[in-house]
């Protein structure tokens, strides 16, 4: 009897990897944006998956989970999840909604996914439609420096002039804005945690109204505070893109460099009251 039970246990252990999910999803927390992105992911990826929500645990050993689950691919949703998979090298990692992957230093070859920031040229074309030719950006080189390089390239192609001020301390924002007075026709606010704080948002909007300079931002949430326009990402479609990328990587059958792609859909929203006050026109 003992021998029979031992044989059964060995068979189960031998078959366990076949039952394992193809994809391990690490989700930073249960925010509505992440949940919407995962709904999009599940419309384009139909394979087996296991989701672990990191905020549900005080501590979690991702490397141990990967060894036990033996997935073929890992999906990291959000910055906390991206940090948790940094040590993984043998598996392809598809990220989404991770700001750190959008604007910071180059990631390892096995880490890619869907960036959180739209392609800069989408913002550039919005500025052109507003009649803007010279605009200002405040940024932290350590966080959005790579993204700024892309902005510079698109400016050259579209004939726009960029006034960029590096910021390493949030307390310097007011002084940096003062330097831009009279030299920019718009401010573009990036989702950079060094630059963007609740206090600094007020400084941006005060500058906007005092100098009649519109603020273009990354979220429609700030329209109610006085921003003129925003380009919002589509969380659901980012999930769909990530699912399509995961399918492509699994079908390729070999680990290769995981590409990073821009979100393909954005939603333009405007504050009509601010647009009228500033005498602007938008298509």
17 and 76 part of one domain = yes
In a domain, 153, yes or no: yes
258 and 174 part of one domain = no
The pair of structure tokens assigned to 191 is 């989702």
**pLDDT value, residue 106:** 63
Q: What CA–CA distances, in Å, run from 31 to 23, 25, 28?
A: 21, 15, 9
Confidence bin at 228 (pLDDT 50/70/90):
very high
23 and 108 part of one domain = yes
In a domain, 282, yes or no: no
Whichever domain contains 207, its CATH number is 3.40.50.2300
105 and 8 part of one domain = yes
130 and 259 part of one domain = no
In a domain, 87, yes or no: yes
The pair of structure tokens assigned to 133 is 């030719």
**pLDDT value, residue 198:** 81
First-last CA distance in the chain: 79
> 73: closest CA among 107, 50, 97?
50
In a domain, 102, yes or no: yes
| Of 104-108, 171-175, 193-197, 222-226, the least confident | 104-108
**pLDDT value, residue 9:** 38
93 and 12 part of one domain = yes
136 and 212 part of one domain = yes
- Residues 264-283 have pLDDT tens digits of 999 999 999 999 888 887 76
In a domain, 140, yes or no: yes
Domain boundaries, position 88: 2-116+235-263
Domain count, the chain: 2
Q: Tell me what the mean pLDDT of segment 169-173 comes to.
A: 93
**pLDDT value, residue 152:** 94
46 by DSSP, 3-state: which? coil
**pLDDT value, residue 101:** 78
- Residues 92-136 have pLDDT tens digits of 999 999 987 765 556 788 999 999 899 999 999 999 999 999 999
Higher local confidence (pLDDT), 16 or 64: 64
126 and 109 part of one domain = no
103 and 181 part of one domain = no
> 274: closest CA among 210, 220, 209?
209
């Amino acid at each position: 009897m003992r021998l029979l039970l031992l044989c059964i246990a060995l068979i189960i252990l031998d078959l366990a990897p076949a039952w394992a999910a193809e994809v391990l999803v690490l989700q930073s927390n249960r925010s509505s944006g992440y949940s919407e992105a995962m709904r999009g992911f599940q419309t384009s990826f139909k394979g087996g998956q296991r989701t672990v929500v990191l905020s549900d645990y005080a501590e979690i050993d991702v490397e141990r989970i990967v060894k036990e689950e033996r997935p073929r691919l890992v999906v990291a949703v959000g910055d906390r999840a991206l940090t948790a998979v940094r040590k993984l090298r043998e598996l392809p990692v598809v990220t989404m909604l991770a700001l750190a992957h959008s604007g910071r230093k180059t990631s390892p070859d096995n880490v890619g996914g869907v960036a959180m920031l739209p392609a800069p040229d989408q913002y550039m074309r919005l500025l052109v439609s507003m009649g803007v030719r010279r605009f200002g950006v405040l940024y932290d080189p350590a966080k959005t420096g790579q993204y700024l390089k892309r902005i510079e390239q698109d400016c050259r192609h579209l004939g726009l002039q960029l006034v960029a001020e590096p910021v390493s301390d949030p307390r310097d924002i007011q002084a940096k804005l003062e330097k831009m007075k009279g030299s920019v026709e718009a401010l573009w606010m990036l989702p950079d945690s060094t630059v963007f704080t609740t206090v600094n948002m007020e400084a941006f909007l005060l500058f906007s109204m005092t100098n009649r300079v519109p603020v273009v931002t990354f979220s429609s949430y700030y329209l109610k505070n006085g921003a003129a326009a925003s380009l919002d990402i589509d969380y659901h479609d980012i999930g769909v893109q990530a699912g399509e990328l995961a399918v492509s990587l699994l079908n390729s059958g070999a680990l290769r460099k995981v590409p990073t792609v821009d979100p393909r859909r954005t939603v333009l929203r405007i504050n009509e009251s601010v647009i009228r006050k500033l005498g602007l026109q938008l298509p």
